[in-house]
Structures are given as C-alpha cells and as structure tokens.
Amino acid sequence: MTASRILQDILTEFDERISSELNLDPLGLQVIWSAYGQKIFRNRISSISNDVRNYTLNLFNHAVTKALVEDDGAMLGKGLLKNKAYAGRGKDSTAFKQACLIYLENLFAYAIVDAQAMQGVETSGVLGISKARRRWEESAGNPRLLFSHEAQAHVLVRQNSLGVSGRYKTPLVEMKFFDSSYDYALPESRPQWQKAQALLFSASESLVELQKSVNAHMTELLADTRREPERSFAEVPAALKQAFVNAFRSPAVVGEYARDFWLAITELDQGAPGALYKVLKDEWLPGGQVQKLPTAEVFALAVKRQPLAAADREKLEHVCMLEPFLGELELLLGVMLSTKSQSLDEVLINWKALGRDGHTLPDSAARIEANAAMRAQVAGTAAERLDELLALARGTDVRQHMEQLLKYHDKVMEARGQSPWLRLLGGRQLKIDVRTRPLPEKDDRPVGAWVHQYYVPQFRHLLSGLRGLA
C-alpha cells in the first residue's frame, strides 16, 4: 500500500478550517471564534454540517449499516469474506462500514437525479449531486454502484471525508451514536439508538418503508460472490429508489417528520443554543417570510432571555466580549492591506479617519483581559493566539500595535508554510504582496462592529429545514 493510500484511509475527518484559513484568514482568527462558538453549539452545528436532510440521511445510513453489522442473517459472500481490508473482522470492520455508507450515499444521489423532474424534489444541498449527474449522463441513466470503501466506488473525490458520512460524522460522534471508528456497540450508544428507533424511524412511515427496502437490498447485495459486489442503477428495485425519494425529497419534508427528534437529541433548543433558537424563531413571519437580524443583535437578545442558567448566559456573553476585539484587529489589518505600498503614518491617518485611535484595541480587549474564566474556556492554538493578540493590544501606541500585528501575522503564516501577505521595509514602509482590500466607509464600520458569525447563519439554515412545511 502506498503512503498516499495509507494517509487517505487514515485521514477521513473533514477539517473545515483548512481551505478557509489558508485563503481568507490571515490572522488565524477562525480557530479562536469557532472555539467559542462550539462552546455554545457543542459541535452539533458547523460550516459543513447544518442541513436537516443530510443530518437525517447520515443517521439513516448508519442505522442501516448498524443493522447489517448486527444481523447474523446478513451473510458476506466469498469475495467479501476474503477482503483483506476487513482484517478478519468482517462486518465489524471500519472498511465494511465505510463501504455501506458510500454505497447508500451514492444510491440516494442517483435516486434524486432520477427523480429531479418530479414536483417537490430538491437537488440543492445534496452532496455530490453535480458529480452524480455527470455519471448519470455518461452512463445514459444507468450508473454503476460499487460496494467498496476504496476510491473507485466514490462519486465524490475523497468521499469518506467530503461526503455525507464525513461531513456529518462529528455531530453524531458528539451525540454518542458511535465513536470515530464507527463502533455502534458502545454502552453510551445504546440509549441513543433506542431514541432514534422510537422517535424517528418508527414514527416516520416513509423511513419505515425505506428501511425495509434497503435492508432487503443490502442483504442480497452482500451475498454476492464477487470481491466488490456491484449493481447497475437499473438493477436496484424501483420501489427502493422511490422510497429514498419519498423520505428525503427535500429538507422541508425531512424537517416535518424529524424536527422533534433532532431538537430533543441535539438539545439545541435548550441552554445557550436554546436562547439563540428562540430569537431565530422570532424571525419567522407569517407567509413563510424571514426577517433576519444581525448576528450581534441575535446574541444581544439571546443574553436577555429568561430563564437561562448562569453558565449558559456566560457562553453567550463571552462571544459578545470577544467579537468586537477580533473585528477591530481584522479592520486594522484591512487598513494595512488597503494600498500596495504605504507608510505606517498613512495607515494611522486612515485608522483615525475610521473613528479609531490608540485606545480602540486596548478598550476592546479590556473586558477579555479582566475575565480569566473566559480565557480558560479555550485551550491549545485558540488560547495561544488569543493571548498573543491581547498582549499586542496593550498600550496605546498604534504604530506598536501595527508592528506587533505584523509579527503575529508572520508567525501564523509561517506555521502554515506560507509567505506573509505584507512586509515592513525599513521599519516604516509597508509592502503588500496580495490583492489590496478596499477601505470601508466610517459609517459602514462603527467601532465594535461584528465580522464573524459564530455559526448563526448555519443554525438558521438548520432551523429553516426543521421548520418543515409549515
């Protein structure tokens, strides 16, 4: 096995910070604000896991896989029994479970492509839909479905990490449905699966019908004697394909039957996220319209919600303390990036023209500096970077702030193996090596304005699905 294949098999977690941090986050602030955001949402919501249909599809696919693992009647054919990737563990191996998940994801995507002209079927948000359409067209509407965990079975590139099971893995791990190795038999997993069976799978007629059809199809597929069983899409029973469409035709359809389950199991309607949930629900207007509030206002209203435990209120207050400081740091760098070449004196003039001065950073940092409990909420890189940023904000000398911010930026970029975006020549002249950023108008950027969203848009998107057809 090649080194790249070994890494591909091991690195199956999707890290949402990689591309965004490298290209859009020159100060490495995402690791800070996301840490405080996840203190609120506990990894239930992220930039890549916020769609109720994908959430439910992933849980369903795992439920099918779990049933196959536990069903002694679902026998592996000769070819699968000899698969070295199963390492003698057969159906309990990670490779087998990945093969099940990939096969089911692809079957769903092709079923949606097949039914996309039907009224009420929404293809937007289906992971891999573009690649599935391409395969559909190339195969004249009869693509191949291969049962394997390896790349040749994937519709998406690196589907183990970029598909539904990869992007929505962390939330289900955090909710104890399984661990990172897909072990369904953990003691803490049993009550979660019992809730899922009682509140979701048994309550939804469409999922009950789909479960029966899928289990029968997968049991028959696994008995195939080939090392990598396969079926053409045309060979899949029509009733099964239609059942997939019926159960997952749109986020609204899924939200209609899954709302109560997901709110209960995620606890996103309780505590700190629950306070945000109530504010976002108030955005819903008659006629299906939504009046979206700025994120700063959403948090301000959530903090005032009653009743709210002190620990939950603090999580919201920490974000309200943090964001004005991060926003001002990002603005200062933006001013420094506004011209290909400028002196520190020119940066200072533009900084003051925006209504800022030497007290802006120290004042926005003061509440954080005074709150040791807030800083103790995060660890690792997030804590290190926040401490460094607080240190550079001490004192009222803007030129010193700029020089320290440059050193901090250099350190962040060096850790990524990249060159800094700007350099200080001769101790006074800035040279920009990337595209310049336009300066905002003073009225468009009041002191303390929020830049980062702390997963509120993603939470809003999830709730729009959970709202169902109402």
pLDDT digits (tens, 9 = 90+) for 144-195: 999 999 999 999 999 999 999 999 999 999 999 999 999 999 999 999 999 9
Give bridge partners of residue 425 from the DSSP assignment.
429
Residue 3 has a pLDDT of 44
Which residues are CB-neighbours of 227 under 8 A, at least 6 positions away?
Answer: 79, 80, 82, 83
pLDDT-based confidence at 470, cuts 50/70/90? low
Tell me, what DSSP letter sits at residue 199? I
Structure tokens at 89: 């563990």
- In this structure, how many other beta carbons lie within 10 angstroms of the beta carbon of residue 12? 18
Distance CA 332, CA 450 (A): 14
**Residue 15 pLDDT:** 46
Q: Under DSSP, is residue 232 helix (H, G, I), strand (E, B) or coil? A: strand
Distance CA 210, CA 244 (A): 6
Q: pLDDT tens digit string along 1-52? A: 444 444 444 444 444 444 344 458 999 999 999 999 999 999 999 999 999 9
Q: How far is CA 180 from CA 12, 97, 173, in A?
A: 10, 12, 7
Q: Of the ranges 88-92, 279-283, 465-469, which one carries the lowest mean pLDDT score?
A: 465-469
Give the separation between CA 344 and CA 424, rounded to whole angstroms.
9
